[in-house]
Chain A
Amino acid sequence: MQLALRDRFSLLVQREVGRLLGPVWIPAAAAFMRWRHGWRIVDAGAARREFARLRREPQAPLLVCANHLTMVDSFLIAIALGSPWWYVSHFSALPWNTPERDNFSRTWWLRVATYVMKCIPVERGGDRREVGRTLERFIYMLGRGDVGLIFPEGGRSRSGRIDPEAATYGVGRVVKSLPGCRVLCVYLRGEGQAAYSDAPARGERFHVLFASLEPKTEHAGMRGSLAITRQILARLAALETRWFDARQ
């Protein structure tokens, strides 16, 4: 599908507005997370180095896939992969993401925040053409060298654990549309996070595990998309096992 000129233009405008305001909103959002909520990522160093390494290899698009427990995961994961000031000077590394429209359209300031934070809202369960158009917009920005973030389970993990059977085809469709696309699987979880919630508890300390892969499939169509999503979910499930094993 060829993305309409109007869509391409609006995405590039959104990106530039976010970038120009980045020196204000990125440190402010990180400070809000750190000082207002006390959230801290305690072992981000290795993940940030791997992310920076993958970013230095510009030959193919990069997609981040992660587990999903709260509505602020996108920002927490971004901070786990790069410092606020690094994103100010490497704005293309700040991942695009596709939050549920209903969750972030209630107030004007949430709409502004999601706009500058490189969000392309999607109405889950909405008109399939509109969902497809959202995915095409997301793919377009990754094809231009920006990073994207998707949750392969399609929503927050209701059981609190990765569910390989919850695989959606969108992630696979993105990967298939971008030849050579690399995937950085990120497992982020707070020490006190037992289940999904709207937001983590105050003072939560997060740990991050990661693994990179380049999913492949011999199948075409949706079967291929599903196979790719399942490979990613299997890797995330392995990271989850490591996370829990380390805490026994």
Chain B
Amino acid sequence: MTEKEAFETVVKILTPHAKNPAALASAKMDTNILDDLKVNSARLVDVVLAFEDAFDIEIADEEVDSVNTVGDCVRLILAKAS
């Protein structure tokens, strides 16, 4: 899986949770999920579970602590999937 593929899937998963569609449309690796996309922090769990299902990986609670940006998600997924 390439970084571009992972990025596109991450953005697709974030789409129903993002309350700022403009920021989502121009999302980059350094786009902050909570501050820029306005994803509710309580729903982060749904996002992470969707990552697990989409990429067939398992993400530990502590690993979520390092996830703030779209790029953090992509890097975590690529590291887990490799």
B34 at the interface (CB under 8 A from A): yes
Question: In the complex, which residues of chain B have a beta carbon less than 8 angstroms from the beta carbon of A221?
Answer: 52, 58-61
Bound complex: CA of A127 vs CA of B44, how far in Å? 13
B5 at the interface (CB under 8 A from A): no
> What is the count of residue pairs linking A and B with beta-carbon distances less than 8 angstroms?
58
B41 to chain A, nearest CB (A): 4
Q: Write 12 A-B pairs (CB below 8 A) sorted by A numbering.
A: A1-B62, A124-B41, A128-B67, A131-B41, A133-B65, A173-B61, A176-B61, A221-B52, A222-B61, A223-B58, A225-B61, A226-B45
| Total chain A interface residues with beta-carbon distance under 8 A | 24
Which residue, B49, B65, B68, has most C-beta atoms of chain A within 10 A? B65
A129-B65, A221-B58, A225-B61 given; name 20 further pairs at CB < 8 Å: A126-B34, A128-B44, A129-B66, A129-B68, A131-B41, A131-B65, A132-B61, A154-B42, A155-B42, A166-B42, A168-B42, A220-B58, A221-B52, A221-B59, A221-B60, A222-B45, A222-B59, A222-B60, A222-B61, A222-B64
Question: In the complex, which residues of chain B have a beta carbon less than 8 angstroms from the beta carbon of A124?
Answer: 41
| Total chain B interface residues with beta-carbon distance under 8 A | 19
Bound complex: CA of A225 vs CA of B67, how far in Å? 17
Question: In the complex, which residues of chain A have a beta carbon less than 8 angstroms from the beta carbon of B45?
Answer: 167-169, 222, 225-226
Bound complex: CA of A176 vs CA of B62, how far in Å? 12
